[in-house]
Chains A and B, each alone.
Chain A
Amino acid sequence: MIQTSGNSMTTLTQDALVEQLSAIVGADKVRTDADSLETFGKDWTKIYPPKPSAIVFPKTTQQVADIVKFANAQNVALVPSGGRTGLSAGAVAANGEVVVAFDYMNQISDFNATDRTVKCGAGVITEQLQTFAEEHDLFYPVDFASAGSSQIGGNISTNAGGIKVIRWGMTRDWVAGMTVVTGEGEILELNKDLMKNNTGYDMRQLFIGGEGTLGFVTEATMRLTRTPKNLTVLVLGIPELDDVMKVLSQFQSTMDLTAFEFFSDKAMQKVLARGDVPAPFETSTDFYALIEFEAVTDADMDQAMVQFEKCMEEGWVVDGVISQSETQAANLWRLREDISETISEWTPYKNDISVVVSKVPPFLRDIDEIVTREYPDFEIIWFGHIGDGNLHLNILKPDDLAKEEFFERCGKVSTWVFEIVEKYQGSVSAEHGVGMTKKPYLEYTRSAAEIAYMRAVKKVFDPNNIMNPGKLIDA
């Protein structure tokens, strides 16, 4: 028998639920075994125990629409599921919801070399799209550590960012058009892949980053771009946190960077301890910057050397390396990209905050002061896409502290952190989304009036609060 609680208010028995879902997608595309419920009921957050009532795998947009209509009729809450790599519990089903998993909608089609676009089912894996682009001498630039698992539908619903935002922007900038199923089961074809289309409200933008609360993305036409040439990576040792941004502006004064990342020595030591990537250099500094740029001509390389020398003269940088091959570039990137996965072992409490780039230095100082004062006994791991104003602040759980107590203590200090975010007019969630973990803090970034309008918009597209209820905002 189905255990309903929280948001899923259906009176259907589980057998009836499975039978009706099977009528839509076929019996082999509905799963209720314990393994599937556990796997598809959660994302990378390890806070909420998964408890979905069934997992359904539609293969077409029409099937998704039918599922949504059925859910409305029977008052069944739905949770969308992509690669489940989210860090804000946006794809967690902890209240007996039905999970709609897009794994079988993974077709890439309609590649158009002139428009440089390609159509992707919501379940296409990011890396699959990246590889497809590469095979056609093009490039899909949105990239992040979980690209091997995350899906396009999830990327769009969370407006995924990552490591190349400074040069190529967020997922939002690459969606030419998309098909969504609204909370009422309507199928909308948005923007028709047009470059120019000033015909009123661009409803794409509501669904991008909407975390599946208004509707589910089922298909999207993604833009591709030219392949960057000879991406070259520098890793620089920077003793003072304050100087990281000075290094950024020094390099940006004459160069277009494709990435500017920073990480603390503590973060790097965790990655190095795994023993599969070498240290960049022997000199140890408290912070490191990873800079990536296109070295098309010798002049580009010379510019990088000139800026490096300048940073050395100023004393901001004390050592550095530059990749001499793609293998080295990839290994240097791993120093930064492996951090998240490496520290997941310590059940980190994650903050993903941002401010405009010019405010980063004083913002960093204020945050640093708070965490050093409030978390003296916790290990703090700093890293982030600092070139676009985005910081990841991770607090590691000490072994001897229970998970509940740890998160409770972190939650308290989060309020302090978010007050600083508010003071600098920043965001409490730069790229991870709101989901459940950041929902209580939305007001630090969004005004009461804005949140009221968000609720009103939710009501328009999802009047029965079927779509991913309890995430982002309370209906």
Chain B
Amino acid sequence: MSDLEVARDDIALSAIAAGNAPDSDDPTLLLLASYRADLDEAAAPPEPLRVDSTVVPLAPRRRRATLVALSAAAGIVVGGLTAGAVAVADRPGESLYAVHVAVFGKAETKTSDVTALLDQASGLLARGDRAGARRLLGRAAAAIPTVPESDRPALRRRLDDLLPYAAEPARPTPRPTPTATRATPRPTESEDRSGSNSGSGRSAEPSESEDHSGSGSSGSGSSGSGSSGSGSSGTSGSSSGSTLDSSGSGSSGSGSSGTSGSGSGLSGSDDSGADDH
């Protein structure tokens, strides 16, 4: 082992560490560079979809059409069994979902659709379009209750991840009581809950701002001054609170009210947040 070899490897690894190709034809180093490139791709904020764009527009629609036919048949064949599900037929997405589960025992997979929304929101955030990202996140929040239950926690978490970035920057001073009436009790509430673990009880029924009280607490605890932490997380907390509201109440009319609900909640945070960008 010579010093030269050690130095050469270090230079090559430094190139890879920086995301570049090493100036080397050593197959092992090139393999590691390829590995890193793949990880870069996997970790990039605007993630390339697993659902590729040629499939997305067609497949779900076809599946949905099949589902309509199937659900009609199901209503006849297993009418007794699915009566409960059919009774909520005024909410198409959910009734189909319920029928599908009743008939096939397997959920309709719409998770990829929500993932696509979140991916798009990531992309918009990467380009600095927060308002656009908030709209997509609102739609994602409204759609989450319609995906298979086992997928919801991960989607909610991902949504939670994105929300702080979508929030308009708040002033680094404690906010006055937000003008939006619904937001008034929230600051104290999130303080009460600030000790709660952000990971707890997420899937069942997301209560207002539960997750973001988690991030809120860490935010305010984090940055010494506390003002910024609570300021920023207050913003994201109020926005997420409303979006989670919509997803929580999603079982009743998640589509429309969810979206508008989150819209108003988010615009509430717009009002109070100062735009210092």
Asked if A and B are interacting partners, one says: no
Residues on B lying within 8 angstroms of A by beta carbon are none
Residues on A lying within 8 angstroms of B by beta carbon are none
